[in-house]
Amino acid sequence: MTVESCIIRNTSFQFDGVKNVYHGKVRDVYDLDDQLLMVATDRISAFDHVLPRAIPYKGQVLNQIAQHFLLNTKDIVPNWWVASPDPNVTIGHKAETIKIEMVIRGYLSGHAWRTYKSGGRLLCGVPMQDGMKENDRFPEPIITPTTKASEGHDMDVSVAEIIHHGIVSQKDWDQLEKYTRSLFERGTKMAADRGLILVDTKYEFGKVEDQIILIDEIHTPDSSRYFYSEGYETRQITGAPQPQLSKEFVREWLITHGFQGLEGQKMPDMPDDFVWEISDRYIQLFELITGHTFIKAEVADINSRIVQNVNNYLNA
């Protein structure tokens, strides 16, 4: 089986009642008036660029992990999920998007570490103490929000700037912070039950009328970083790297091959064996984090499968 024979990269479905379609970095969103139909494609992005190669089963993994956590956190905050009629599809409530991403970090990793390593001790207005090393645990999780850009790079932003520019009100920020910390606490416990550490993640929110709801994905390898619990302390003491289950290893591969999304840099070609390695890692994380066996959906004709499953749902 070739990579190209079992992926869904681009969609152009003609579902009844669709008002318009938005093609995001990795998801295609069909507007059904008061609901949205979101197709999780197999596209993968890094450094705010969509990579040329798609990853088999990635969309299914993300969609089903997100469903798993949305159903297990709806007691904390109402969310957009209504149904998943296909392994790559979620239908949910349409909300007015709040234009910030709530990034929360329990450990000094990824972007936070790169900032720290360069000498920065302030991230989104939040201080980071001296004397830490990569992947150390913060005394308390820190929230480092970013602006949510429709195109281009998301930008770090402080709470003071968010309030000053009227992106959200103080009242809404307080609620967003409460939801973010509670979701991260739940995600941390669920990860620990599976022998994992939830390192950092991001949440996106919207409003239906005047109610804040959780939207998009949650605790997936595209939006989160995980470590193995076993051996974490020993690796920190000895200075060994922390194996991680996220797409950070994709970013590291790109950096090694001279690409960080900067102007003038050329996107490297991703060989088939690395594409399959990424696919295997996504599936591995699905099974580790949910405790369920990943059942690969039929991919002989993904488009027809999605059309049939969605139409069956809509017609019902």
Domain contains 220? yes
Average pLDDT of the chain, as a whole number: 94
Integer Cα distance of 257 and 301 in angstroms: 34
**Does 83 share its domain with 125?**
no
Q: Does any domain span residue 151?
A: yes
List alpha helices for the chain, DSSP H.
58-71, 110-117, 159-164, 170-193, 232-238, 248-256, 272-290, 302-315
User: How many CB atoms are located within 10 Å of the residue 315 CB?
Assistant: 7
CA distance 214 to 206: 6
| 226 and 100 in a common domain | yes
Mean pLDDT on 61-87: 97
Q: Residue 152 pLDDT > 60, yes or no?
A: no
d(C-alpha 176, C-alpha 179), whole Å = 5
**262 lies in a domain?**
no
pLDDT at 111: 93
Confidence of residue 221 (pLDDT cuts 50, 70, 90): confident
Q: Does residue 122 have a pLDDT over 70? A: yes
Residues 302, 231 share a domain: no
Are 61 and 101 in a shared domain?
no
Q: Identify the pLDDT of residue 134.
A: 97
Q: What domain range includes position 32?
A: 4-95+272-315
- pLDDT at res. 222: 83
Q: What is the pLDDT of residue 48?
A: 85
Amino acid 151: pLDDT: 54
Residues 155 and 290 in one domain: no
Taking Cα atoms as reference points, which of 157, 138, 137 lies closest to residue 147?
Answer: 157
When computed from its CA atoms, the radius of gyration of the chain, rounded to whole angstroms, is 19
pLDDT in tens, 201-216: 999 999 999 999 999 9
Give the mean pLDDT of 39-60.
94
* CA nearest to 6, candidates 308, 217, 303: 303
Mean pLDDT on 224-246: 93
pLDDT above 70 covers a percentage of the chain that reads: 98
Task: Answer yes or no: do 184 and 71 share one domain.
Answer: no
Which of the 8 DSSP states describes residue 38? E
Residue 69 clears pLDDT 90, i.e. is over it: yes
Residue 154 pLDDT: 75
> Cα–Cα distances in Å, from 142 out to 124, 180, 219?
10, 10, 17
Backbone torsion region of residue 110, taken as left when φ is above 0, otherwise alpha when ψ lies between -120 and 50, otherwise beta: left
What is the mean predicted confidence (pLDDT) over 37-43?
A: 96
307 has a pLDDT exceeding 60: yes
The reported pLDDT for the residue numbered 167 is 94
In a shared domain, residues 207 and 305: no
- Indicate if 124 and 214 belong to the same structural domain: yes
Q: Is 33 in the same domain as 76?
A: yes
- Residue 206 falls within a domain, yes or no? yes
> What is the per-residue pLDDT for 150?
56
DSSP assignments along 107-166, one per residue: ES-HHHHHHHHTT--EETTEE--TT--TTPEEEEEEE--EE--SSS---B--HHHHHHTT
Residue type at position 310: V
DSSP labels for 186-206?
HHHHHHHHTTEEEEEEEEEEE
pLDDT, position 149: 62
Q: Token pair 């017609």 is at which residue?
A: 315
**From CA 204, how far away is CA 213, in angstroms rounded?**
9
The bridge status of strand 224-228 relative to strand 137-143 is unpaired
| Confidence category of residue 271, pLDDT binned at 50, 70, 90 | very high
The number of C-alpha atoms within 13 Å of 120 and in the hemisphere containing its C-beta is: 13
Q: What does the pLDDT read at residue 153?
A: 60
Question: Would you say residue 129 lies in a domain?
Answer: yes
> What is the reported pTM?
0.89
What mean pLDDT comes out for the span 171-200? 97
* Tens-place pLDDT, residues 89-115: 999 999 999 999 999 999 999 999 999
Return the CATH number at 201: 3.30.470.20
Contact yes or no for 35/94 (Cβ under 8 A): yes
Residues 75 and 200 grouped into a single domain: no
**Residue 265 resides in a domain:** no
Q: What is the pLDDT of residue 245?
A: 78
Do 146 and 183 fall into the same domain?
A: yes
Residue 130 lies in a domain: yes
109 secondary structure, DSSP code: -
How far is 248 from 221, CA to CA, in rounded Å? 9
- Binned at pLDDT 50, 70 and 90, residue 60 comes out as very high
User: Is residue 181's pLDDT more than 80?
Assistant: yes
Please give the tally of structural domains in the chain.
2
The enclosing domain of 291 has a CATH number of 3.30.200.20
Determine the Cα–Cα distance for residues 120 and 104; give it in Å rounded to an integer: 18
| Cα–chain center distance at 75 | 21
Query: 141 and 215: one domain?
Result: yes
Q: How many CA atoms lie within 13 A of 139 on its CB side?
A: 7
pLDDT of residue 3: 82
**Residue 258, in any domain of the structure:** no
